[in-house]
Chain A
Amino acid sequence: MRAEWIKLRSTASTHYAVGTAALVLVLGVAWTLYVDSIWHERGLRSAAAAEEGFLPVVQLAVAVIGVLAATGEYATGLIRQTLTVTPRRSRLLLDKAAVVALTAFAVSAAVLLATASAARLVGDYPMAELDVAQLLAHALAATVLSLAGLGLGVVTRSTAGAVSGVVALLFVVPGIVNLLPTPWSTRIGAFLLPNLVPQAFLPERAGLEPLAAIGLLLLYAAVPLAAAWAVFTRRDV
């Protein structure tokens, strides 16, 4: 596992992805100051807190970390050397998943907590109470997305392909489902990745039970990883 950690931290792309996630802190503060300056005159009752608005940026950034952990090796051909020194493929995939998950969770939890705290420190406009449990759940969703990215990266062996898959999960499919006629858009919408954490925390809204929502969330990581395992342990490199 240490080998995977060294690989992850020694590439510029990981730094960029973490940097993008961290940029959310700056954007979040800017957003908060901006809303602060206008909410009185516009008579806003409440506005989204910064960490909510920029959540997709954090999620996408850590998803890219997961994608690149796989496709970076395929694009360079390094995968052959990696599998020469660690021919046990299941073990290798497990190590990669563990390193990606820990990194994604640490990065997204840190960025979301920092952004939320900073927003409440500098902002006066009415926003939702800081809910640490919910923020950690969002970090969990980001982690799930990065594991899905890893799985898609292994299966497709293409950065563009895997990033498209992640974007589809996060934006495209929810966007399409939103366009469906009303009973269906909410019924199907309940099963979509971005809607799972809110359902776990706002049970009064009709939808999935909190536990079911979290379970389904984990499936979004488990299914791509299982697919990755199935092809990775059999395929020639």
Chain B
Amino acid sequence: MIDVKHLTKTYASTTAVDDLSFRVEPGQVTGFLGPNGAGKSTTMRLILGLATPTSGQALVNGRPYREAPEPMREVGALLDATAVHPGRSAYNHLLALAATHGIGEIRVAEVLAQVGLTPVARKRVGGFSLGMQQRLGIAGALLGDPAVLMFDEPVNGLDPDGVRWIRHLMRGLAAEGRTILLSSHLMSEMALTADHLVIIGRGRLVADTPLSDLTSAYPSLEEAYLQLTGSSVEYR
């Protein structure tokens, strides 16, 4: 479970996250929506302790993430799939991650198979397409078999096959009782994947609601999203 409490992050000129509070519950896919620059990625970095909040806090399974005894077995995260060393092979990339937690080569091979990268496991990551990099990022997140998973725009760059694959993967992971936080700008896809939605605009909470409540009150999720965030869109 992820518990965000009055989280605020101010950079020199902007307040990226502004007194934000919400919870991400286990057993469902929580969609994380908001216009460009709304603060989704920043919130995820704050949850992971990569950035220090100006005030407030984020708890994962009841404690700050940095205090987790075995971080990788608690949380898996895909923030930026292109952030890999281009010269390293997919296999070595995952092996280095695995080694931090004494996870063995068998598990590395397992997640490579799960994301469909086994045939290119020994190839340099620099030669991967964006979709393949996303798959590698997902493999890294799954490596520690964590109960909490966060994905920042994982559908970016995937072909229709890949998009559907992610949808089934997310639904499957939630069905196993895991906590899933998933950001995306693709409303139609989100409508098919998420159970619950957290929508933010300009760093503030706009909506925290079951998907069904929005789709019954509005003609479509896209319509709901556009109306709810209409006043907080910064860049057009």
Alpha-carbon distance A228/B176, docked complex (angstroms): 42
A116 to B79, CA, bound (A): 49
B95 / chain A contacts, CB cutoff of 8 Å: 6
A40 on interface, CB distance cutoff 8 Å = no
- The yes or no answer to B140 lying at the interface (CB within 8 A) is yes
Number of A-B contacts (CB under 8 A): 82
Interface residues of A in 1-32 (CB under 8 A from B): 2-7, 10-13
Contacting residues of chain B (12-70) with chain A, CB-CB under 8 angstroms: 45, 48-52, 65-66, 68
Contact indicator A2/B66 (Cβ below 8 Å): no
Nearest neighbor of A15 in chain B, beta-carbon distance: B87
- B230 contacts the other chain (Cβ, under 8 Å)? no
- B residues near A (Cβ < 8 Å) are 45, 48-52, 65-66, 68, 71-72, 75, 77, 79-80, 82-89, 92-93, 95-101, 140, 144
Q: A6 to B99, Cβ gap below 8 A?
A: yes
> A7 and B96 in contact (CB under 8 A), knowing A76-B84, A87-B65, A87-B71?
yes
Partner pick for B96 among A6, A83, A87, A236, CB 8 A cutoff: A6
Q: Classify chain A's interface size.
A: 20 to 34
Shortest Cβ distance from B134 into chain A, in angstroms?
Answer: 14
* Most B-side CB within 10 Å, residue of A4, A80, A86: A80
Chain A residues contacting B99 (CB-CB under 8 Å) are 2-3, 5-6
How near does chain B come to A142, taking the closest CB pair, in angstroms?
Answer: 24
- In the complex, which residues 34-86 of chain A have their Cβ closer than 8 Å to any Cβ of chain B? 72-73, 76-78, 80-81, 83-86
Is there a chain B Cβ closer than 8 Å to A205's Cβ? no
Given A3-B97, A6-B92, the answer on whether A236 and B87 have CB atoms closer than 8 Å is no
Interface contact B68-A10, CB-CB below 8 Å? no
- Smallest Cβ-Cβ distance to A75: which chain B residue: B85
Docked-complex contact A87 and B83, CB < 8 angstroms: no
User: Residues of A contacting B80 with CB < 8 Å?
Assistant: 77, 80
B85 and A87 contacting across the interface, CB-CB below 8 Å:
no
A10 near B66: Cβ-Cβ < 8 Å: no
Of chain A, the residue at the smallest CB distance from B143 is: A85
Is there contact, CB below 8 Å, between A10 and B101? Answer: no
Residue of A nearest to B125 (CB): A76
3 A-B pairs closest in CB distance: A77-B83, A10-B92, A3-B99
Q: Chain B residues with Cβ under 8 A from A83's Cβ?
A: 48-50
Shortest distance between the CB of B98 and any CB in chain A (Å): 8
> In the assembled complex, how far is the CB of residue A72 from the closest CB belonging to chain B, in whole angstroms?
6
With A and B bound together, what is the CA distance between A12 and B85 in angstroms? 10
Which among A3, A4, A5 has the highest number of chain B CB atoms within 10 Å? A3
Query: What's the Cα separation between A196 and B80 when bound, in Å?
Result: 45
